[in-house]
Structure 1
Amino acid sequence: MRVDVPEGKDAIEYVWGEMIPGIGVAASRFSLAVYSHTTLGLREFEAARLRIAQINGCAFCLDWRTERDGVKVEDDFAESVTRWRTSDALDERTRLAAEYAERYALDHHGLDEEFWTRMSAHYQQREIVELSMCLGSWLSFGRLNRVLGLDTACHLPSSGGRSPAGRPDGPSADPGRPDGPSADSARPDGLTADPGRPDGLTADPGRPVGTSPRSEPESRPLR
């Protein structure tokens, strides 16, 4: 591990929640949002996530399997994702999700019109944007955990351990809710709409953008 974690501290919670709470907590909300608010099917979601995990080499992300209503992908699904070009276990949407993930991570300049024609034939524009945001989260935070050695500090599901907030990328930022959104029910990042700003967002006066609107600051994320 590349970070000195005090004895008795959980590595993930310490790094994400205590070392840089102004950034880490906001980042964890983003990592949670792609699980809590996705509209993508489980197979294309997992195909994209696992291909990024394979490229990043994040041990925890590779071991993790997203579960929805008690359903997970089959045990050999990750191998099919590795062989996305030739595997007959993937339908076209799932194959494209794996391809997009790989090219997003390794060759985003090479995403040409031929690829976008195929992608647009199977995904709506809203789904493409959503998948792109998911890929951004997995690539960034999975790689962060891998580079800092946090992926091996996580307790992996297969070894009987727990996962931070039930998600592979980061811990929950809100002890009041299990899925991690802020106290602002209208927006998971705690921001409100502001037509006067170019980005359409504003934060409470005197409060940094992305921090919780609660009266007491959040110093650490919870499981």
Structure 2
Amino acid sequence: MESRLNYFGNPLAGKVLKHINSAGKAVSDSTLPAATQELVKIRASQINGCGFCTDMHTKDAALAGETSLRLNLIAAWREATVFTDAERAALELAEQGTRIADAAGGVTDEAWANAAKHHDEEQLVALISLIAVINAYNRINVINQQPAGGYKPGQFG
């Protein structure tokens, strides 16, 4: 399978991605734990059917020390006992923030209150921003049919 076009080699895309990547770097430098960031990126990518991002972020998470057990259970996080309450709150926010069209009003007050119980203001800003950034990347890759499976950690950094 090949992508529809060489999006990542296009000069206009480079200008767009520069800004998206800048936002992503700000989030990665925040106090939101790196493991939580990867869990959120993987879960949103699963929901959006973005194989490229799911491949990338599971490999990056594994390289950073995430266990295969936790990686394998992200899609079933509600039933899994391997995630902290803070991670579960972030995953719920990621799901509702990714599926905003599925419920009137988007993210529920309950999901927000739970996230706020476990994360300070900077971490909440990081979560909102991260959810927006990964959803943007998911949409770029899904629309372009970017193939999955060939990502090598460190390939883009």
| Normalised TM-score (structure 1) | 0.59
Question: Given the superposition, is the C-alpha separation of residues 103 and 153 from structure 1 closer, same or farther in structure 2, using an over 3 Å criterion?
Answer: closer
Find the structure with the greater CA-based Rg: 1
Could you tell me which residue of structure 1 aligns to residue 126 of structure 2? 130
Provide Cα deviations, 1:173-207, integer angstroms capped at 9, x if missing partner. xxxxxxxxxxxxxxxxxxxxxxxxxxxxxxxxxxx
Equivalent pairs counted in the alignment come to 150
Residues 113 and 74 (structure 1), Cα distance of their counterparts in 2 relative to 1, 3 Å cut: same
| Preserved CA contact (<8 Å) 1:101 1:135 | yes
**Which stretches in structure 1 are left out of the alignment for 5+ residues?**
6-10, 166-223
Query: TM-score, normalization: structure 2?
Result: 0.80
Partner residue in 1 for 2:60: 66
Verify the 8 A CA contact 2:55 2:149 in the aligned structure 1: no
CA contact (8 A) 1:38 1:130 kept: yes
How do 1:64-143 and structure 2 match up within 5 A? Answer: 64=56, 65-66=59-60, 71-107=64-100, 109-143=105-139
- The root-mean-square deviation of aligned C-alpha atoms, in Å, is 2.5
Give yes or no for the alignment of 1:156 onto 2:151. yes
1:52 and 2:47 matched: no
Distance 1:29 1:63 in 2: 21
Contact 1:84 1:99 in 2 (8 A): no
Give the structure 2 partner of residue 209 of structure 1.
none
Residues 20-66 of structure 1, C-alpha deviation per residue, up to 9 Å, x if partnerless? 4443332333334433x132113321221110110122222212233
Name the structure with the higher helix share: 2
Task: Give structure 2 stretches of 5+ with no counterpart.
Answer: none
Map of 2:4 onto structure 1: 2
In the superposition, relative to structure 1, how do residues 153 and 63 fare at CA in structure 2: closer, same or farther (>3 Å)? closer
Contact 2:41 2:134 in 1 (8 A): yes
Deviation of 1:156 after TM superposition, in Å, equals 1.3
